[in-house]
Amino acid sequence: MNAAESNLASMSQPFDALILGMGEDGHTASLFPCSEQVLDGLDMSSGRTCIAVQPTTAPHQRISLTL
């Protein structure tokens, strides 16, 4: 994740993009209500640009981005 954050930090700003998906279980932007990381993903004061999310209702790990 550190490499992803470094690459994102080197991009020209402002960078405007919005890519959202919504799943049948109510997840949006790879933030799954059932995941342990959901509160980390919603914490606007964390300063993180991306987090790894391991949902309990999906077979694969996901990445959620805030730019």
In a domain, 48, yes or no: yes
**Domain around 55:** 1-11+23-67
In a domain, 67, yes or no: yes
In a domain, 4, yes or no: yes
Check residue 17 and give its pLDDT. Answer: 76
In a domain, 18, yes or no: no
Q: Tokens for 61, please give them.
A: 């790990």
In a domain, 37, yes or no: yes
In a domain, 56, yes or no: yes
Length of the chain: 67
Q: What is the spatial distance between Cα 59 and Cα 56, in angstroms, rounded to a whole number?
A: 8
Q: Detail the DSSP E strand segments found in the chain.
A: 50-53, 62-65
Rounded to 10 degrees, what is the CA torsion of 63, 34, 54, 64?
10
pTM over 0.75: no
Mean pLDDT computed over 12-34:
81
| Whether the predicted pLDDT of 53 surpasses 90 | yes
Domains held by the chain: number: 1
In a domain, 16, yes or no: no
Check residue 31 and give its pLDDT. Answer: 86
In a domain, 58, yes or no: yes
pLDDT-derived band of residue 52, with 50, 70 and 90 as boundaries?
A: very high
